[in-house]
Amino acid sequence: MRRWLGLLLLVVMLVGCTAPAPSEQASVPTLQPTPLPTANAQARREISFPAADGTLLAGELALPAGSPPYPLVVIIHHSGPVDRTAYAYMEPLLLARGYAVFRFDKRGTGASAGTYGCCESDDALAAYQAVTSEAEINRDYLFIAAQSLGTYNVAEQFAAYQTIAPPRGVALLSNLLDQAMIVAIEAPIHVIVADSEPELNRIGPEAVAAHQAALPYGASLYVAEGAEHTLFDLTAGPIDWQDPGWAERYHRGAMASLLDWLDHQRVPLRA
């Protein structure tokens, strides 16, 4: 019996799961057993830009195959002194679907000047302002993918993001926003959270339901089974973050959910 229960648990973990909000059943992509399609950038360009306090920050814009203007995904980091390489695993997945991708180095990391430890919200906003003015970018299709602390930083200054260029949608990966905070994001949202979150209901179903009730833009939810907070897959055991192969442990279901949601947000504007 124990053996059969173990097999059943494994099957459940290999299937993506959503917790629907009261008024909307989210579309659920199935966890992919093999790596998702990837692509190399057609071109890359280093972009330097000033922070609000004048500190010179740096990032990289990667362009997909095809002709401009391109839809854009701006990645807003999780906490800690991390640079653009923290999201190197995500970039090729987005490029393969036709999205330009902007990743930047937090201050005091990578090619960015300054000392890490302040101004993360302001710096993320400065990154968004810098890249959305690039000539190859289609400003009708601007997306933000914010993770963990990044979700808070975007919500805190969302009015300023709208003033610069209203995003078509915001993906909240490893969401930290509760019912009160999430309604600051006046745009379509897609929340992706791990099933291991200790306050899953607060930052998942309850937050999505609050956004749906307060705003007309649409909100959906994906719960990644067998994932840790930053959406890496634990079904094969704990992750050794010192192992260079950690990036291959990204949760396939979570990333498929993100890509499908991004594509869905572009459909109405194609008509």
- pLDDT tens by residue, the chain, 271 residues: 333 333 333 333 333 333 333 323 233 333 333 456 677 878 899 999 999 999 999 999 999 999 999 999 999 999 999 999 999 999 999 999 999 999 999 999 999 999 999 999 999 999 999 999 999 999 999 999 999 999 999 999 999 999 999 999 999 999 999 999 999 999 999 999 999 999 999 999 999 999 999 999 999 999 999 999 999 999 999 999 889 889 999 999 999 999 999 999 987 544 4
Residue 12: per-residue pLDDT? 31
Residue 115 lies in a domain: yes
Residue 94 lies in a domain: yes
The residue to which tokens 């990333």 are assigned: 255
Residue 20: per-residue pLDDT? 34
Residue 53 lies in a domain: yes
Residue 36: per-residue pLDDT? 66
Angstrom distance (rounded) from CA 36 to CA 251: 10
Establish whether the linkage from the previous residue to 205 is cis, with ω within 30° of 0: no
Residue 7 lies in a domain: no
Angstrom distance (rounded) from CA 23 to CA 145: 24
Furthest-apart CA atoms within the chain: distance in Å: 64
Q: Could you report the per-residue pLDDT of 149-207, keeping only the tens digit for each?
A: 999 999 999 999 999 999 999 999 999 999 999 999 999 999 999 999 999 999 999 99
Mean pLDDT score of the chain: 87
Q: Edge-to-edge, what's the strand order for the sheet holding 43-50?
A: 43-50, 56-63, 100-105, 70-76, 137-147, 169-173, 189-194, 219-224
Residue 10 lies in a domain: no
Question: What is the CATH classification number for the domain harbouring 43?
Answer: 3.40.50.1820
Residue 90 lies in a domain: yes
Residue 244: per-residue pLDDT? 84
Cβ contact 38:73 at 8 Å: no
Range of the domain at 218: 15-270
Residue 4 lies in a domain: no
Residue 268: per-residue pLDDT? 55
Domain count, the chain: 1
Residue 1 lies in a domain: no
